[in-house]
A and B are shown apart, each in its own frame.
Chain A
């Protein structure tokens, strides 16, 4: 999965007229509609929804991405330096996906996430203090130190948790989407999961039910090309996970997951469909993780080359959006540096907060198990 291949990737949209033909994606021509898409339902009829990010939205997306990047860079250092226990699966490289989708969601919309979940929490509005405290296993953490990285959550902002079980979040998001429809709200649910997770039964069962019941669900597949150390072509016989949508009767969309604006636009279509009661969408974002499966350097296995990683880093999603913001005169280089500096300082202060805060009292171990059983 060499990075340049993304250039030759055919961007396919199951939506009719959903995207502007002119939208530039680093010089590659887009195909707004792929008419031969197998059994893609016609969505939105004759009134295509066009999602276009305003300057304010672009800046908001950028801010979310930088927050994720800095949170994760510092979290990676903490893990490598043995400051936090357990295993951290870091999101660096995939920021455009969380930011582009989450920019459409309110606190009342729910998401489920994966073992690689910090980015989703940050993008949904999670606070650094409570997040770092959780990674440290401290009482002030979002889960009071009980869950850690793989179970980090914040119900107040609609974040139904990272998940230690691959694919575990998908049926839960489907259930949340059911609840939203059942309660006659305009809310939506989104589930983030990997290419590897799309091989779990949980994905297939949830996708079928979501389409059957026309649930307001966005299935966001973050295809980073690997499940752990296994390359996509060694774990599934398809290239685009989005192809699986056809089998369940929902649109499948492939988008450049390094391009936050493209993700934003595609997610906007999917969210609009969901809010309008038109059912679920499978949105596949082609992306890449810059760090190892676990931690930064991980187990040091040679399952991919430095050249491949470097090639993908050429299309660093943050670099891409910053170039665009500057080029369009939305922000200056200096102001971007100031944003990075402000967020870095916030992260360092939050790490200090986490380090200084107390561990959970072991006497509270049995709280929340409903009853004490000897």
Chain B
């Protein structure tokens, strides 16, 4: 927790992604008495991922609530409470469990405000964990962001760094509309600079992680780090890649993407989700619609193959996109 961290004025404070999540939730709950956190094993156990540790002690059992294993109920709790004056923070543990509560998400949460002629306000934040890489197999490793981004009425953010994790959670909790914060399990131990206190990372604003001249790598969540590595390796082939971390998938910062592509004339999109019907398809379409005349090559897409996530490490390793695959796809596209 924040209090336990050293307060060194000089060196910027480093924090793991997992602790940045905790701080984000804690700050949001400190500033808003109507905020509560509910989910499976978030109170006593501090969540199976460890990111709600200490919150029960600080906020008490009235505001940090262990729920039964009833995802439809939990999501409904969030919708109903948000519509009637609370600011719920709902923890869905694994994103794969969306299947259990998709009606609450898609037909209720996402549509209520619109259907009710704007008369409902739904300040609900949902935290959930995506991504493969831990041999947790087909039902605990998925990246299902397009299930959510296809729904008007939801905001969807996917932080890649500890800084963004904390800031986006705070922004999500301050937002008067439903926001999904997609976390990444392989990133939990990732260290990064995280300021103390509350700060926002704006929802709908991409981050240019690295500037470059002749290629734009567009990524989000953990794939941002793979894209950064790929950018390093691509120098060897005379490619100076710009890397954009989308941070927010919906709303999407098309301005930043298009501005970059107009400069570099080439784009490769990277996500961990299955490539087919993935979010990269939307990005590629936006780019060709808005920057067709600037493109010197087809827009590339790197994603997982069209298969469920396998268990065996040998299969999972070849399943997951990585820097090597980004480099290979880029070289293929650009013929270098």
Q: How far is the CA of A166 from the CA of B317 in the complex (A)?
A: 27
Pair B48/A151 contact, Cβ less than 8 Å: no
Which residues on the B side are within 8 Å of A39 (C-beta)? none
Which of B95-103, B145-153, B235-243, B256-264 lines the interface with chain A? B95-103
User: B311 in the interface, Cβ–Cβ < 8 Å?
Assistant: yes
Contacting residue for B313 out of A85, A147, A168, A199, CB 8 A: A85
Q: How far is the CA of A229 from the CA of B46 in the complex (A)?
A: 10
Which residues on the A side are within 8 Å of B307 (C-beta)? 365-366, 369
CB distance from A339 to the nearest CB of B (A): 32
Pair B44/A236 contact, Cβ less than 8 Å: no
Pair A151/B311 contact, Cβ less than 8 Å: yes
**Among residues 228 to 248 in chain A, which have CB atoms less than 8 Å away from a CB atom of chain B?**
228-230, 234-236
Known: A151-B139, A228-B41. A145 touches B311 (CB 8 A): yes
Pair B66/A151 contact, Cβ less than 8 Å: no
User: B180 in the interface, Cβ–Cβ < 8 Å?
Assistant: no
Pair A148/B311 contact, Cβ less than 8 Å: yes
Pair B69/A164 contact, Cβ less than 8 Å: no
Pair A166/B69 contact, Cβ less than 8 Å: yes
User: A146 in the interface, Cβ–Cβ < 8 Å?
Assistant: yes
Pair B100/A234 contact, Cβ less than 8 Å: no
Contacting residue for A230 out of B40, B96, B308, B315, CB 8 A: B40
User: A38 in the interface, Cβ–Cβ < 8 Å?
Assistant: no
User: A56 in the interface, Cβ–Cβ < 8 Å?
Assistant: no
Which residues on the A side are within 8 Å of B314 (C-beta)? 137, 145, 359-360, 362
Q: List 13 A-B contacts (CB under 8 A).
A: A138-B312, A145-B312, A151-B139, A199-B73, A229-B44, A230-B40, A234-B44, A235-B67, A299-B45, A301-B44, A359-B312, A365-B305, A366-B305
Q: How far is the CA of A56 from the CA of B8 in the complex (A)?
A: 72
Pair B134/A86 contact, Cβ less than 8 Å: yes
**Among residues 294 to 309 in chain B, which have CB atoms less than 8 Å away from a CB atom of chain A?**
305-308
Pair B306/A372 contact, Cβ less than 8 Å: yes
User: B136 in the interface, Cβ–Cβ < 8 Å?
Assistant: yes
CB distance from B231 to the nearest CB of A (A): 25
User: B319 in the interface, Cβ–Cβ < 8 Å?
Assistant: yes
User: B318 in the interface, Cβ–Cβ < 8 Å?
Assistant: yes
Pair B69/A87 contact, Cβ less than 8 Å: no
Which residues on the A side are within 8 Å of B140 (C-beta)? 150, 164
Pair A148/B66 contact, Cβ less than 8 Å: no
Interface of B is mostly: loop
Known: A86-B135, A365-B315. A146 touches B68 (CB 8 A): no
Residue among B67, B68, B71 with the most chain A CB within 10 A? Answer: B68
A148-B135, A151-B137 are known; give 11 further A-B pairs, CB within 8 A: A85-B311, A137-B315, A147-B137, A147-B311, A201-B100, A202-B100, A229-B41, A360-B314, A362-B317, A366-B305, A374-B276
Pair A365/B68 contact, Cβ less than 8 Å: no
Which residues on the A side are within 8 Å of B306 (C-beta)? 366, 369, 372-374
Which residues on the B side are within 8 Å of A299 (C-beta)? 45, 48
Q: How far is the CA of A196 from the CA of B40 in the complex (A)?
A: 10
Which residues on the B side are within 8 Å of A201 (C-beta)? 70, 72-73, 100
Q: How far is the CA of A26 from the CA of B319 in the complex (A)?
A: 53
Pair B40/A228 contact, Cβ less than 8 Å: yes
Residues of B within 8 A of A (CB): 40-41, 44-46, 48, 66-73, 96-97, 99-100, 134-140, 276, 305-308, 310-315, 317-319
Known: A85-B135, A150-B139. A200 touches B69 (CB 8 A): yes
User: A311 in the interface, Cβ–Cβ < 8 Å?
Assistant: no
Pair B311/A197 contact, Cβ less than 8 Å: no
User: A227 in the interface, Cβ–Cβ < 8 Å?
Assistant: yes
Pair A145/B134 contact, Cβ less than 8 Å: no
**Among residues 61 to 97 in chain A, which have CB atoms less than 8 Å away from a CB atom of chain B?**
85-87
Which residues on the A side are within 8 Å of B136 (C-beta)? 86-87, 150, 164
CB distance from B132 to the nearest CB of A (A): 11
CB distance from A116 to the nearest CB of B (A): 13
User: A262 in the interface, Cβ–Cβ < 8 Å?
Assistant: no
Q: How far is the CA of A202 from the CA of B319 in the complex (A)?
A: 31
CB-based nearest B residue for A141: B312
Contacting residue for A165 out of B100, B276, B308, CB 8 A: B100
Pair B311/A196 contact, Cβ less than 8 Å: no
User: A343 in the interface, Cβ–Cβ < 8 Å?
Assistant: no
Pair B69/A360 contact, Cβ less than 8 Å: no
Known: A143-B311, A146-B312. A235 touches B69 (CB 8 A): yes
Which residues on the A side are within 8 Å of B313 (C-beta)? 85, 137, 359
Q: How far is the CA of A360 from the CA of B70 in the complex (A)?
A: 36
Pair B312/A196 contact, Cβ less than 8 Å: no
Q: How far is the CA of A200 from the CA of B174 in the complex (A)?
A: 31
Which residues on the B side are within 8 Å of A137 (C-beta)? 135, 311-315
Which residues on the A side are within 8 Å of B67 (C-beta)? 235
CB-based nearest A residue for B97: A165
Q: How far is the CA of A143 from the CA of B135 in the complex (A)?
A: 14
Pair B69/A165 contact, Cβ less than 8 Å: no
